[in-house]
C-alpha cells in the first residue's frame, strides 16, 4: 500500500477527523465532547483518544441525559469513561424539569427528546464550553447535509443556516466571542456504513443494544419500540417478543429497533450495506414529525 | 481498497444538477427506500410528470419554498471502487462564494450545461473557478440531450465553444459527456440514444479518473498543528515525550530523514513516525495525520513547518494572492486589516495593494479597481505581521491556500490562493556578498548574447553555431535555450504575460551570473516583450557586463511555413492559446545590437556576424 502512497477511504476519513480534533484542542480553551453511548459518539471518542496518543484526552465528555435510557446504555457509558480515564459531565433533563425550566410533554406519546435542547444549552453555558464536539453526520438528514464542520452558534445557541461561514480547504475558522460557541462535527463526511466498517476494522466495543437480542417490543407508527418504564403501551398496541437490534440509540420513547439477526459487527456491516432504509427513517420518530423537523430543531440549538 | 474522491458540482439554475446528482445516487443504489418514497410522494403532490430526483438533494426549507439550491450541501455515495463526496454548489450568479467553498478540496469538478442553452456566462464562470482553485480534473456534462434530439452536432458545438474558453485557463484534464439526467442516459449505463458517443458514461469516468498522482509527493511539508506532551509524572517513558502532531501537507517523510524546522532553521532528524493511536509508521504522506518525534530537543510550536533542508517553502511577509471576496456587508480595500489563516498559522495582515480586479467572464484585468465586492476576484498583495511559510497554490493546495477573517465580525470574508511572495530573509535581510575574486582577476571577461525573435525564426540554430565556434576558439561559452530551460529551471512557469516575464527575468539572471564568471552566455529565447528584455539589459549594465541583443527578424509567414515544432498549426487550430505571433504580440527591439534577416545567409554566415560583436 505505502509504495503507491494511497490511503483507503476509511483512513482518509480518520485522518480528517484527527486533524479536526487537534485543531480544536489547539485553538479553543474549553472543548467538550458529547457522548451518549450511541455508536457515532463512541467512534468519535475513539478517534479523539487516537488523536492525542500517548497523552490523555485534553477535554471532558458530556452526556445529555433524558433520564429515559435503556439500562445497557448507562452501564456502557460509565464503563467506557472509567476505562479511558476521561471526565464525564452529565446534563440532566430531569433537573431542568424539576426546576421548572422546561415543561414535560404529557400523554402516552410524550417524549423528552425536544427538552434535551434546553439542557444541552444550559450545560454548555454552565461549563463555559467554547467548542462542543457532536457526532452528527451529513448523510443523516437533509438539513445536516449543509452544516459546516465548524458550525457557529450565537449566544443563544442558535444556528443560522443562511448565514454560515464559508469553509474552505482545511482552514477552519473557530473565531467567536465570549458566550458564543462552535459546534464541531468531526464525522461530517462519514456515512452509516463507514461508521460500521470502522467499528469492524478497529474492533470498537458498542453497547449490546446494537446487536441482535430478544426483547419485548410493540409497533407504533410503523416502527418497533422497546417496552420500557418510559413508554406507555396503548390499548390497541400489541406487545410481542422479537429478535431486534437498534440502529441508533436515543431517548427510549422515540428510538425504534429493527428486526435483525445480526449478532456481531461483521453481520451488521452486511446488513447496513444492504439496507434500503435510512437509519433515521427507520427508527427515529423524532425525525418524522415534519419534513422540516430537523432543520427547525437545529436552529433552536439541538445536537 | 476503496479510495475517496471529492467531487464539486456546478451548473446554472435548472441545468439539471440536482436531477443528475439524484440520478447518480439512485442508479448507484445509494438512495434508501424511505427517501425515495418521500420524493415520489412530493413529486405526485406537485404534479410532476416524472419522479423528481432533484428533491433528493434540495435540503433546506427555504430552498424547498423557492425551488432552488441556496448553499453548499454534501452528498455521499459509494461504489465498490470509490467513495464519493459531492460538494453540491448552486449556480446562481451571486453564489460564486459557494462554489469556491464547495470546490476548494475537490479532485474533480463537474460542470453542467443545458444542451438547449449551450455555454452560458455562468458556465464560463464555473470553469474559471474550477481552474482558479486548481481542481485537477474537469468534466463537462452536456445535459438534457433528450431535448435536442440526442444531436451529436449540438454536442460537438457546445464542446468546441467550451474548449475555446477553457484554453485560456489552466485546465489540464477536460472531458465532455452527453447525458440526460432525467432519463438516466449515459449517467451510469451506456445509452442507445447516444450510440455515437464512444466515451465512458459519467459514473464509469468518475470511478476511473486517475487522482493518485494529483498529490504533491515531492515537497515534504509538515505544518506543526499541536504539540503532544503527556508530562506524565508516573510514567517515565512519557515524561519527556514530545510529539509534533500534524497532517502531512506534501511530500513523504521517513524515519531517519534529515529535516529543518521553519522559521527557526534548526535542523534535526525524524526519530519516529506514529499514526493515530500510536501505530508505528515507516513513512507518512499527505493527507495522513501523524505525530513526529525528532532526535534533537528543539523548541517547536504550532505554526512551525517541518520540511527537508534542500527543499524549503518560502518564508515571508509579503504575499501575492488571488482572492475571492465573500462578504456582502463589507468590501476589500487597500489598507484593510484581517487575520490570515494559512496552514496552522493565524497572523494579522494588511492589504497593501489591490493589483487588479479580474472580470471572470472576459478575463479582463481592471487595474483601476479600488475594491472587491461580494463574489469578486482580484489579485492582492498582503503584508503579514509575522511571516507565513508557504508555497505557490498551483504547486501545493495545502500550503498555498489562505482565508481572511474579519476581526470585527469573526466572519470568513475571503479565500486566497497564493501566487507568489517574497522570501523575507533572502531579499530583505541578506546583503549581497562581494566575491573575494573580483572580475579583473578572472581570466576572461564574459558577456551575454541574447537572441530574440519568433518561434521558428532560426534563433536556436544560429545560437548553437555561435556556441560551437566560441568553444572551438577556446572561449568558455554556454548556450541557454529557452525551450530547454522550461524543462527545469522554469518548469513551473506557463505562457501568460506574467510567467513570460518571470521566465525572461530568470534566464537573464542566470546569463548575468555566467557572464560574471567569465563565460559568454548565449541565450535563445522568444522573449516577446520589449520591457522584459530591457530589464535584462539594465541588469547587465548595472553589473558592468556586456549585453548584445540580436534580433532574428524572420517574417511571420516564413516562420509559420517552417513550423518545425508544429506549434503554429496548433495555435491556428485553437489548440494552444497565447502563442506569440498568432494571438500574442511580439514587440521588436527598438535598437538591437544586430539584426539578422534571411538574406544574410545561412547559420554559419550569421554566426560570424554575431561573433563580430565580441571582436574575437
Ligand atoms: N428533459 C430533461 N429535463 C431535465 C433533464 N435534467 C433535468 N431536467 C429538468 O430540468 C429542471 C431543472 O432540474 P434541476 O435538477 O432542478 O436543476 P438544478 O437547478 O440545476 O438543480 C427540472 O424540471 C428537471 O426535471 C434532462 O436530462 N432532460
Q: Of all atoms in ligand 1, which is nearest to the CA of residue B67? A: 16
Rounded alpha-carbon distances, angstroms, from residue A137 to A194, B282, B331: 11, 32, 34
pLDDT at position A295 over 70 = no
Mean pLDDT of B539-548: 88
C-alpha cell, A6: 494511497
Task: Report CB contact under 8 Å: A19, B241.
Answer: no
The residues near B212 (Cβ < 8 Å, ≥ 6 apart) are: A4, A5, A6, B3
* B478 vs B480: CA distance, rounded Å: 6
Dihedral sign, Cα of residue B164, residue B168, residue B172, residue B177 = negative
Q: Cell 494588511: give the residue.
A: B350
Helix (H, G, I), strand (E, B) or coil at B471: helix
Apex A224 CA angle, A70 and A288, nearest 5? 95
Pairs across A and B, CB distance < 8 A: 187
Task: Report CB contact under 8 Å: B3, A56.
Answer: no
Which pLDDT tens digit goes with each residue over B378-422? 999 999 999 999 999 999 999 999 999 999 999 999 999 999 887
Q: Which residues of B touch A142 (CB under 8 A)?
A: 58-60, 73
pLDDT at position B116 over 60 = yes
* A155 vs B595: CA distance, rounded Å: 75
pLDDT at position A294 over 70 = no
Query: Minimal Cα distance from A165: which residue of B?
Result: B412
| Residue B182 CB less than 6 A away from ligand 1 | yes
Phi, psi of A48 (to 5 degrees): -60, -45
The residues near A130 (Cβ < 8 Å, ≥ 6 apart) are: A28, A29, A30, A31, A176, A180, A181, A182
Q: Cell 527575468: give the residue.
A: B505
Burial class (CB in 10 A: 0-12, 13-18, 19+), B237: exposed
Query: Burial letters for A164-200: b for 16+ Cβ neighbours within 10 Å, e otherwise?
Result: bbbbbbbbbbbbbeeeebbbbbbbbbbbbbbbbbbbe
pLDDT at position A208 over 60 = yes
Query: Minimal Cα distance from B328: which residue of A?
Result: A163
Q: Which of B127, B102, B100 is nearest to B112 (CA)?
A: B127
Cα A37 off chain centre by: 8
Strands (E), chain A: 31-34, 61-65, 88-92, 131-133, 150-153, 181-184, 213-220, 223-226, 239-246, 256-259
Task: Report CB contact under 8 Å: B38, A291.
Answer: yes
Report the range of poorest mean pLDDT among A243-257, B97-111, B194-208, B249-263. Answer: A243-257
Q: Of all atoms in ligand 1, which is nearest to the CA of residue B54? A: 15
Rounded alpha-carbon distances, angstroms, from residue B284 to A10, A37, A55, B248, B391: 16, 33, 21, 7, 20
Query: Burial letters for B50-79: b for 16+ Cβ neighbours within 10 Å, e otherwise?
Result: ebbbbbbbbbbbebbeeebbbbbbbbbbbb
Pick left, alpha or beta for residue B615 (phi over 0 → left; psi -120 to 50 → alpha; otherwise beta): left
Which pLDDT tens digit goes with each residue over B429-443? 334 454 555 555 555
| Residue B181 CB less than 6 A away from ligand 1 | yes
HEC readout, B59-126: CCHHHHHHCCCCCCEEEEEECCCEEEEEEECCCCHHHHHHHHHHHCCCCEEEEEEECCCCCCHHHHHH
Which pLDDT tens digit goes with each residue over B506-521? 999 999 999 999 899 9
Q: Closest Cα of chain A to B462: distance in Å? A: 46
Mean pLDDT of B450-455: 94
The complex scores an ipTM of 0.89
Contact call for residues A272 and A196 (beta carbons, < 8 A): yes
Mean pLDDT of chain A: 88
Residue B451 host element (H or E): strand B447-452
Which pLDDT tens digit goes with each residue over A105-140? 888 777 888 888 999 999 999 999 999 999 999 988
Helix (H, G, I), strand (E, B) or coil at B47: coil
Which pLDDT tens digit goes with each residue over B261-319? 999 999 999 999 999 999 999 999 999 999 999 999 999 999 999 999 989 999 999 99
Query: Minimal Cα distance from B277: which residue of A?
Result: A50
- Cross-chain CB nearest to A173 (options B34, B245, B403): B403
Q: Which residues of B touch A5 (CB under 8 A)?
A: 212, 215, 217, 252, 285
Q: Which of B104, B268, B401, B527 is catalytic?
A: B527
* A291 vs B23: CA distance, rounded Å: 21
Q: Which residues of B touch A23 (CB under 8 A)?
A: 225-226, 344
Helix (H, G, I), strand (E, B) or coil at A61: strand
pLDDT at position B232 over 70 = no
Over its C-alpha atoms, chain B yields an Rg (Å, rounded) of 28
| Residue B11 CB less than 6 A away from ligand 1 | yes
Residue A25 host element (H or E): helix A9-27
Task: Report CB contact under 8 Å: A2, B283.
Answer: yes
Model-level pTM?
Answer: 0.77
Is B301 tagged catalytic? no
HEC readout, B203-251: HHHHHHCCCHHHCCCCCCEEEEEEEECCCCCCCHHHHCCCEEEEECCEC
Q: Which residues of A touch B215 (CB under 8 A)?
A: 5
The residues near B362 (Cβ < 8 Å, ≥ 6 apart) are: none
Which pLDDT tens digit goes with each residue over A250-275? 777 778 898 999 999 999 988 887 77
DSSP one-letter code for B54:
G
Which pLDDT tens digit goes with each residue over B18-72? 889 888 888 776 666 666 677 677 777 777 766 666 666 654 444 545 544 457 7
Amino acid at each position: 500500500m505505502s509504495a503507491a502512497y494511497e490511503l483507503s477511504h476509511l483512513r482518509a476519513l480518520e485522518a480528517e477527523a484527527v486533524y479536526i480534533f487537534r485543531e480544536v484542542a489547539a485553538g479553543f480553551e474549553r472543548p467538550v465532547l458529547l457522548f451518549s453511548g450511541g455508536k457515532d459518539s463512541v467512534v468519535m471518542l475513539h478517534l479523539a483518544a487516537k488523536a492525542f496518543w500517548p497523552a490523555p484526552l485534553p477535554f471532558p465528555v458530556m452526556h445529555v441525559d433524558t433520564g429515559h435510557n435503556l439500562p445497557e446504555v448507562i452501564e456502557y457509558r460509565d464503563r467506557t469513561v472509567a476505562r479511558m480515564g476521561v471526565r464525564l459531565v452529565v446534563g440532566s433533563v430531569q433537573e431542568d424539569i424539576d426546576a421548572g425550566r422546561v415543561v414535560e410533554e404529557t400523554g402516552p406519546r410524550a417524549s423528552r427528546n425536544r427538552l434535551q435542547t434546553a439542557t444541552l444549552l444550559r450545560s454548555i453555558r454552565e461549563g463555559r464550553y467554547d467548542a462542543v464536539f457532536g457526532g452528527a453526520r451529513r448523510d443523516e438528514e437533509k438539513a445536516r447535509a449543509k452544516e459546516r464542520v465548524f458550525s457557529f452558534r450565537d449566544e443563544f445557541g442558535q444556528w443560522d443556516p443562511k448565514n454560515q461561514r464559508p469553509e474552505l480547504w482545511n482552514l477552519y475558522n473557530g473565531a467567536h466571542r465570549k458566550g458564543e460557541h462552535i459546534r464541531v462535527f468531526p464525522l461530517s463526511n462519514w456515512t452509516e456504513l463507514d461508521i460500521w466498517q470502522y467499528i469492524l476494522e478497529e474492533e470498537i466495543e458498542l453497547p449490546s443494544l446494537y446487536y441482535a437480542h430478544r426483547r419485548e417490543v410493540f409497533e407504533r407508527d410503523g416502527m418497533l419500540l422497546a417496552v420500557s418504564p418510559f413508554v406507555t403501551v396503548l390499548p390497541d398496541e400489541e406487545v410481542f417478543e422479537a429478535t431486534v437490534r437498534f440502529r441508533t440509540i436515543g431517548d427510549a420513547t422515540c428510538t425504534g429497533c429493527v428486526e435483525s439477526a445480526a449478532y456481531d459487527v461483521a453481520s451488521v456491516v452486511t446488513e447496513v450495506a444492504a439496507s434500503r432504509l435510512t437509519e433515521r427513517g427507520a427508527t427515529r420518530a423524532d425525525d418524522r414529525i415534519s419534513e422540516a423537523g430537523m432543520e427547525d430543531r437545529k436552529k433552536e440549538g439541538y445536537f | 481498497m476503496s479510495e475517496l474522491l471529492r467531487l464539486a458540482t456546478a451548473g446554472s439554475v435548472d441545468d439539471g444538477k440536482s436531477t443528475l446528482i439524484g440520478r447518480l445516487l439512485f442508479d448507484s443504489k445509494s438512495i434508501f427506500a424511505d427517501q425515495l418514497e418521500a420524493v415520489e410522494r412530493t413529486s405526485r403532490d406537485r404534479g410532476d410528470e416524472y419522479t423528481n430526483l432533484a428533491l433528493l438533494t434540495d435540503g433546506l426549507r427555504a430552498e424547498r419554498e423557492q425551488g432552488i439550491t441556496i448553499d453548499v450541501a454534501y452528498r455521499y455515495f459509494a461504489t465498490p471502487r470509490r467513495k464519493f463526496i459531492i460538494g453540491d454548489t448552486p449556480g446562481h450568479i451571486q453564489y460564486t462564494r459557494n462554489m469556491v467553498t464547495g470546490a476548494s478540496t475537490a479532485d474533480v469538478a463537474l460542470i453542467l450545461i443545458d444542451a438547449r442553452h449551450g455555454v452560458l456566462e455562468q458556465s464560463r464562470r464555473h470553469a474559471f473557478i474550477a481552474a482558479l482553485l486548481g481542481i485537477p480534473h474537469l468534466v463537462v456534462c452536456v445535459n438534457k440531450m433528450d431535448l435536442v434530439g440526442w444531436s451529436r452536432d449540438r454536442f460537438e458545438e457546445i464542446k468546441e465553444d467550451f474548449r475555446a474558453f477553457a484554453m485560456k485557463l489552466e485546465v489540464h484534464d477536460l472531458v465532455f459527456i452527453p447525458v440526460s439526467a432525467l432519463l438516466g442516459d449515459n449517467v451510469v449505463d451506456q445509452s442507445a440514444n447516444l450510440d455515437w458517443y464512444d466515451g465512458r458514461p459519467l459514473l464509469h469516468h468518475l470511478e476511473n479518473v486517475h487522482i493518485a498522482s494529483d498529490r504533491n509527493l515531492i515537497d515534504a511539508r509538515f505544518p506543526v498543528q499541536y504539540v503532544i506532551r503527556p508530562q506524565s509524572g508516573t510514567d517515565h517513558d512519557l515524561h519527556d515525550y514530545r510529539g509534533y502532531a500534524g497532517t502531512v501537507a506534501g511530500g513523504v517523510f521517513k524515519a531517519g530523514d534529515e529535516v529543518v524546522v521553519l522559521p527557526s532553521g534548526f535542523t534535526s532528524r525524524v526519530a519516529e513516525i506514529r499514526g493515530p493511536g500510536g501505530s508505528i509508521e515507516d513513512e507518512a504522506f499527505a493527507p495522513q495525520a501523524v505525530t513526529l518525534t525528532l532526535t534533537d530537543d528543539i523548541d517547536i510550536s504550532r505554526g512551525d513547518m517541518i520540511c527537508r533542508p534542500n527543499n524549503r517553502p518560502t518564508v515571508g511577509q509579503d504575499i501575492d494572492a488571488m482572492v475571492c471576496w465573500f462578504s456582502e456587508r463589507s468590501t476589500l480595500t487597500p489598507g484593510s486589516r484581517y487575520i490570515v489563516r494559512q496552514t496552522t498559522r493565524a497572523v494579522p495582515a494588511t492589504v497593501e495593494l489591490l493589483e487588479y480586479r479580474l472580470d471572470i467572464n472576459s478575463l479582463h484585468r481592471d487595474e483601476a479597481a479600488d475594491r472587491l465586492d461580494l463574489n469578486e476576484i482580484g489579485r492582492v498583495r498582503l503584508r503579514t505581521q509575522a511571516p507565513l511559510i508557504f508555497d505557490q497554490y498551483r504547486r501545493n493546495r495545502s500550503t498555498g491556500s489562505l482565508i481572511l477573517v474579519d476581526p470585527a465580525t469573526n466572519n470568513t470574508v475571503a479565500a486566497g490562493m497564493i501566487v507568489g511572495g517574497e522570501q523575507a530573509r533572502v531579499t530583505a535581510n541578506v546583503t549581497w556578498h562581494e566575491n573575494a575574486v573580483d572580475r579583473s582577476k578572472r581570466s576572461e571577461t564574459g558577456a551575454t548574447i541574447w537572441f530574440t525573435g519568433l518561434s521558428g525564426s532560426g534563433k536556436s540554430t544560429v545560437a548553437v553555431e555561435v556556441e560551437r565556434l566560441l568553444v572551438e576558439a577556446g572561449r568558455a561559452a554556454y548556450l541557454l535555450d529557452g525551450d530547454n530551460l522550461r524543462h527545469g529551471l522554469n518548469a513551473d512557469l506557463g505562457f501568460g504575460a506574467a510567467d513570460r516575464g518571470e521566465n525572461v527575468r530568470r534566464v537573464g539572471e542566470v546569463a548575468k551570473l555566467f557572464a560574471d564568471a567569465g563565460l559568454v552566455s548565449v541565450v535563445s529565447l522568444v522573449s516577446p516583450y520589449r520591457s522584459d528584455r530591457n530589464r535584462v539589459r539594465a541588469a547587465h549594465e548595472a553589473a558592468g557586463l556586456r549585453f548584445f541583443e540580436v534580433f532574428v527578424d524572420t517574417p511571420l509567414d516564413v516562420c509559420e511555413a517552417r513550423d518545425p515544432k508544429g506549434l503554429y498549426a496548433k495555435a491556428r487550430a485553437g489548440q494552444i492559446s497565447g502563442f506569440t505571433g498568432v494571438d500574442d504580440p511580439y514587440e521588436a527591439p527598438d535598437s538591437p545590437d544586430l539584426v539578422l534577416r534571411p538574406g544574410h545567409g545561412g547559420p554559419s554566415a550569421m554566426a560570424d556576424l554575431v561573433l563580430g560583436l565580441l571582436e574575437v
